[in-house]
Structure 1
Amino acid sequence: MSNEVRAGARLRLAILVCLAAAAAGGQQAQQPEAAKPAEVRDASRVDPKEILTKTGTEMEAGAPVDPKSYKIGAEDVLGVYVWKEREFSGQYVVRPDGKITMQLVGELTAAGLTPEQFQARVAEALTKYLNQPQVIVSVLQVRSKRYFVSGEVNRSGPVALVTPTTVLQALSSAGLREWANRKKIVIMRGAERIKFNYNDVIKGKKIEQNILLQDGDHIFVP
């Protein structure tokens, strides 16, 4: 066999080897990567703050209540948020009987409890359906406790009694009009009438008049 023939045979063999290698490489590239196992998270280690972003429900700004001391009442609007469980998350208005109704869970008494206490009650009720449920309860609107301001003020009407509030604080928020009679302000508490002299109190006199307001109090400025 001549040198030219042998060289041609070697060239054809090299080409066939290259084509075979390329085909094998293409098949290997087309094979999908093995799926990675899904990450399993222990719910007990989840930061409760994550609940706000995992429920798929935007959390409204809650009323500035102390979750350890504020007592939930009828007509308050509550936000209940359960991590990764949209069907249990949402807003609930406390009924006159002090209860709310949650899907599957049924009725739960909220009135008389602090947000933290009710949060624990919701979590306990959900253990029948979820493993270590992570729950946040917030008071979105305070409707159960209010005082009223009327008369010669800039802002009259009902005011949510969210935190301990004195008469002077309430009047400062409402704003007294220029012609208001500051010496004869009256706080109506049921059948009781409590006098309040604004001029004396701001001068540090008769400060015992500057009482803490109670639910249902009505401040009248003549």
Structure 2
Amino acid sequence: MGALLLGGCTSIKVDHMPGPDGLPLMDGDGVVPELEYRIRPGDDLDIKFFYTQELNDQVKVRPDGYISMQLIDEIKVAGLTPKAVDDLLTQKYAAHLKDPSISVIVRSFKGFRAYVGGEVAVPQVIPLDGGMSVMQAIYRAGGTLPTASMESIVLIRKGKNGEPMPYHLDLSDKAIAAGRPDTQVALTPSDIIYIPRSPIANGNRWVQQYITDLVLFKGVQLGFGVNYIIEENDDGDN
């Protein structure tokens, strides 16, 4: 059986690809309680000082993840929550202000998007202006084609160390009727949804269908790299 090596350090056997357990889910109001927003390059931030309003500023997070502020050195904010940036700025400004009460507001979100490809009517980049589930993104892409294998959908998500992690989702009518959590899996920035023609089989077929032929990997900046090789067992199975 083949194994997919992602990011040069993670080995995932195709036939043991994890399901949706542990992934953030949307509730009935479109809210994702488990999902904490993290600032990304291109985001516009409002920095508010309660007692020294002359320092109030509007800044854009640079491509390198840093922002520049008055009185202090530039700081890296990409990957942090707004609360964490608030705490970091308060710490930095404590050396300059008696009471650096600061509030950080994300005024506009940039680069908050996902990608839908495979057996859908219109493969495309989907902007995530608000909470969105995998199922909703598929509808946004015009729905699936008759050739789609809804029980074998692959969600590729950035892992904790930036490596791409694949998950197997079942959005078939049978799974929906059974109330499986797959239908409520919430999207996060740079997610890739791929709807194949046929069920996941062996390693070589997985690479051919889900990586090599995935047009969304071509010419699109995902925020993480994908490297893969196929390992073969001693019995020579692919």
Give TM-score scaled by structure 2 length: 0.48
Query: What are the within-5 Å matches in structure 2 for residues 1-222 of structure 1?
Result: 69-83=36-50, 85-149=52-116, 151-152=120-121, 157-160=125-128, 165-171=132-138, 174=140, 176=142, 180-181=145-146, 183-184=148-149, 186-187=153-154, 189=156, 197-204=171-178, 208=182, 211-219=185-193
Q: Does the 8 A contact of 1:182 with 1:197 survive in 2?
A: no
Q: Does the 8 A contact of 2:66 with 2:74 survive in 1?
A: yes
1:130 deviation in Å? Answer: 2.5
1:194 deviation in Å? Answer: 5.3
Q: Letter of the aligned partner of 2:36 in structure 1?
A: S
Alpha-carbon distance in structure 2 between the residues aligned to 1:198 and 1:91:
46
Alpha-carbon distance in structure 1 between the residues aligned to 2:147 and 2:57:
45
Q: CA RMSD in A?
A: 3.9
Q: Letter of the aligned partner of 1:76 in structure 2?
A: D
Q: Letter of the aligned partner of 1:152 in structure 2?
A: A
1:137 deviation in Å? Answer: 0.3
Alpha-carbon distance in structure 2 between the residues aligned to 1:129 and 1:116:
20
| Secondary structure at 2:100 match in 1 | coil
Structure 1 gaps, min length 5: 1-63
1:78 deviation in Å? Answer: 1.6
| Secondary structure at 1:112 match in 2 | coil
Which has more radius of gyration? Answer: 1
Q: Letter of the aligned partner of 1:158 in structure 2?
A: I
Alpha-carbon distance in structure 2 between the residues aligned to 1:201 and 1:124:
49
Q: Does the 8 A contact of 2:45 with 2:59 survive in 1?
A: yes
Deviation per CA, 1:151-202, whole angstroms, max 9, x where unpaired? 426x953323765x53124335x2745x843843554636969575453443
| Secondary structure at 1:106 match in 2 | coil
Q: Does the 8 A contact of 1:78 with 1:92 survive in 2?
A: yes
Alpha-carbon distance in structure 2 between the residues aligned to 1:72 and 1:205:
33
| Secondary structure at 2:91 match in 1 | helix
Alpha-carbon distance in structure 2 between the residues aligned to 1:93 and 1:65:
25
Count of paired positions: 154
Q: Does the 8 A contact of 1:78 with 1:139 survive in 2?
A: yes
Q: Which has the higher helix share?
A: 1
Alpha-carbon distance in structure 2 between the residues aligned to 1:158 and 1:212:
13
Q: Percent identity?
A: 23
Structure 2 gaps, min length 5: 1-30, 157-163, 198-238
Alpha-carbon distance in structure 2 between the residues aligned to 1:217 and 1:137:
26
Give TM-score scaled by structure 1 length: 0.51
**Over 6 Å off, 4+ runs:** none
Q: Does the 8 A contact of 1:142 with 1:162 survive in 2?
A: no
Alpha-carbon distance in structure 2 between the residues aligned to 1:77 and 1:131:
27
Q: Does the 8 A contact of 1:79 with 1:91 survive in 2?
A: yes
Alpha-carbon distance in structure 1 between the residues aligned to 2:75 and 2:41:
13
